[in-house]
Amino acid sequence: MKRKFALLLVLVAALAGAATAWMTIKRPSAPLELEQATMLDVARPLSQLELVDQAGRAFQRDSLRGRWTLMFFGFTNCPDVCPTTLTALAEIRRKLKDLPAGDLPAVVFVSVDPERDTTEALGRYVAHFDPQFLGVTGLPGAIEALTHDLGVAVSMGPVSQEGNYTVDHSAAIFLIDPSAAFTAVFGGPHLADVIARDYRSIVAAKH
Give residue 103's pLDDT: 96
Give residue 161's pLDDT: 65
Q: Which residues contact 58 (CB under 8 A, 6 or more apart)?
A: 50, 51, 52
CA distances, 92 to each of 20, 27, 104, 111, 130 (Å): 42, 34, 10, 21, 11
Residue range(s) defining the domain that contains residue 170? 34-206
Identify whether residues 69 and 147 lie together within a single domain.
yes
Q: Are strands 106-111 and 134-137 parallel, antiparallel or unpaired?
A: parallel
Identify whether residues 18 and 73 lie together within a single domain.
no
> Model's pTM, two decimal places?
0.83
Q: pLDDT tens-digit profile of 127-159? A: 999 999 999 999 999 999 999 999 998 887 777
Q: How many domains does the chain have?
A: 2
Identify whether residues 75 and 156 lie together within a single domain.
yes
Residue pair 138/51 in contact by the 8 Å Cβ criterion:
yes
- Strand partners for 174: 71, 185
Identify whether residues 101 and 161 lie together within a single domain.
yes
Give residue 15's pLDDT: 38
Below-70 pLDDT ranges, the chain: 1-31, 161
Identify whether residues 15 and 112 lie together within a single domain.
no
